[in-house]
């Protein structure tokens, strides 16, 4: 028999609610289509109003379905800023007091909106997720206020939400958006073919770029990172020089926005000099199959795909654009170069494959095209 005090705490059973299907292919396609617009000020064209009160809004030539504040009309132009892509695309509506709304793909033709409600996500917990979670919390709070009808006009955001909204608004005012972390010193001191030195230099360049400063501070507080490592990052250097950049300063806001985008999209962009006088652009993106996320650490690592893009201009080879995909320890490589350089790369493919095999990374696919040829591969 159960103890009396345990029985007395049992409450009534409430009906189960269907789980939100975040892995819906149409939702994933919408997220991929909107991802390049993250942090940008956009204009939404209201195309239609559905029977459940939601609207079909065209943003960057992409139709979406979202809730709008009271008074929205078909044909109106709505100023929007995309502030998040995951777990759902989230827009800041207007330029005044921040109001946020999540977006989904339009309903299939003939679907009943009443049977497919546009779900609004409740406030997220900021613990352990940092700035990105705080952004989602602010966005969700604003989205929830949309459902309150006229009362939403008197809804106020938390200090965190207001701070994030102010940063995003300041970032949108910058004439030239910052899309990559900038390297202040060359990756290696001189031209080199030493892959280990270049890899170590890139690791230090990205690690000291300031993109991950807050997480590094947390590691330092736990004794897992030396203070000397923090002193090499721009935020710490500014603090030591007595500078206190304001979050609403366009340059500071741009960098914070870049931090949020890096965290949100698992997409890192860096540009600087590989060695003195040799500019380089690097992009790294992690892709994880959502169906594999619940598996063990080893199984998830095997399912993880890393996409990288490396762009350089060499004196002899000219422009070289290399795209690499690493899946399960195997490398897929696609290179775009001038016609002469492309022929040279094809000729040396066996040497490359042999070197990769010796390093334990087999070459699973290799494609070289001349600049100007259509690229049929995945971007």
Q: Does 370 reside within a domain?
A: yes
pLDDT at 137: 42
Say yes or no: 247 and 166 in one domain. no
Say yes or no: 182 and 77 in one domain. no
Q: Does 296 reside within a domain?
A: no
Other Cβ atoms within 10 Å of 242 Cβ, number: 6
Say yes or no: 110 and 30 in one domain. yes
Say yes or no: 54 and 166 in one domain. yes
Say yes or no: 192 and 251 in one domain. yes
What single DSSP character describes residue 360? T
CATH number of the domain residue 330 falls in: 3.30.750.140
> What are the percentages of helix, strand and coil residues in the chain, rounded to 5?
35, 25, 40
pLDDT at 53: 83
Do the bridges between strand 278-287 and strand 305-314 make them parallel or antiparallel, or are there none, so unpaired? antiparallel
CB-CB contact of 123 with 143 (8 Å)? no
pLDDT at 3: 43
Say yes or no: 47 and 152 in one domain. yes
Q: Does 109 reside within a domain?
A: yes
- Type and span of the H or E element at 234: helix 234-240
CA-nearest of 116, 124, 117, 82 to 101 is 82
Of the three residues 115, 139, 172, the one that is the final residue of a domain is 172
Domain region containing 59 = 25-172
Say yes or no: 168 and 207 in one domain. no
Say yes or no: 87 and 150 in one domain. yes
pLDDT at 133: 38
CA-nearest of 160, 163, 245 to 210 is 245
End-to-end Cα spacing for the chain: 63
Q: Does 4 reside within a domain?
A: no
Say yes or no: 43 and 158 in one domain. yes
- Per-residue confidence of the chain (379 residues) as pLDDT tens digits? 434 443 344 444 444 444 444 456 777 888 888 888 887 888 899 998 888 788 999 998 889 998 888 888 898 888 888 888 877 788 888 765 567 788 888 877 777 776 666 653 322 222 223 343 344 444 444 444 444 444 444 445 566 667 777 777 787 777 777 889 999 899 999 998 898 999 999 999 999 999 999 899 889 888 899 988 889 999 888 888 888 888 788 888 889 888 888 887 888 999 999 999 999 999 999 885 544 444 545 555 556 799 999 999 988 888 999 999 999 889 999 999 999 999 999 999 999 999 999 989 999 999 999 986 655 554 4
Say yes or no: 164 and 205 in one domain. no
pLDDT at 265: 81
- Number of domains, the chain: 3
Say yes or no: 141 and 115 in one domain. yes
Q: Does 207 reside within a domain?
A: yes
Q: Does 6 reside within a domain?
A: no
Angle between helix axes 159-172 and 131-146 (nearest 10 degrees) is 100
pLDDT at 288: 58
Q: Does 280 reside within a domain?
A: no
pLDDT at 157: 59
Say yes or no: 34 and 160 in one domain. yes
Which pTM value belongs to this model? 0.57
CA-nearest of 187, 378, 375, 192 to 281 is 187
């Amino acid at each position: 028999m159960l103890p009396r005090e345990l029985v007395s705490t049992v409450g009534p059973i409430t009906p189960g609610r269907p789980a939100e299907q975040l892995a819906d292919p149409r939702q994933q396609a919408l997220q991929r289509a909107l991802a390049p617009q993250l942090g940008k000020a956009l204009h939404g064209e209201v195309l239609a109003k559905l029977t459940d009160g939601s609207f079909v809004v065209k943003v960057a030539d992409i139709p979406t379905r979202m809730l709008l504040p009271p008074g929205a009309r078909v044909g109106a132009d709505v100023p929007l800023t995309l502030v998040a892509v995951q777990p759902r695309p989230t827009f800041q509506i207007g330029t005044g007091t921040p109001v946020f709304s999540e977006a989904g793909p339009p309903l299939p033709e003939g679907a009943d909106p009443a049977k497919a409600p546009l779900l609004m996500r409740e406030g997220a917990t900021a613990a352990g997720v940092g700035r990105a979670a705080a952004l989602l919390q602010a966005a969700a709070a604003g989205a929830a206020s949309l459902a309150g009808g006229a009362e939403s006009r008197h809804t106020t955001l938390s200090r965190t939400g207001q701070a994030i909204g102010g940063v995003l608004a300041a970032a949108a005012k910058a004439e030239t958006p910052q899309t990559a972390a900038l390297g202040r010193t060359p990756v290696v001191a001189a031209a080199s073919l030493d892959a280990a030195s270049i890899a170590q230099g890139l690791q230090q360049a990205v690690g000291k770029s300031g993109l991950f400063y807050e997480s590094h501070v947390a590691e330092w507080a736990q004794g897992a990172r030396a203070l000397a490592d923090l002193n090499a990052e721009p935020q710490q250097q500014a603090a030591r020089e007595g500078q206190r950049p304001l979050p609403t300063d366009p340059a500071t806001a741009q960098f914070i926005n870049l931090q949020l985008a890096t965290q949100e999209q698992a997409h890192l962009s860096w540009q600087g000099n590989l060695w003195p006088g040799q500019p380089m652009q690097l992009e790294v993106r992690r892709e994880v199959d959502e169906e594999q996320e619940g598996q063990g650490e080893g199984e998830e690592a095997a399912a993880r795909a890393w996409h990288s893009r490396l762009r350089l201009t060499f004196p002899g080879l000219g422009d070289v654009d290399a795209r690499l995909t690493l899946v399960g320890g195997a490398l897929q490589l696609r290179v775009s170069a001038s016609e002469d350089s492309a022929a040279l790369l094809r000729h040396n493919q066996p040497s490359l494959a042999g070197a990769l095999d010796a390093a334990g990374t087999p070459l699973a696919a290799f494609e070289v095209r001349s600049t100007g040829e259509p690229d049929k591969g995945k971007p």
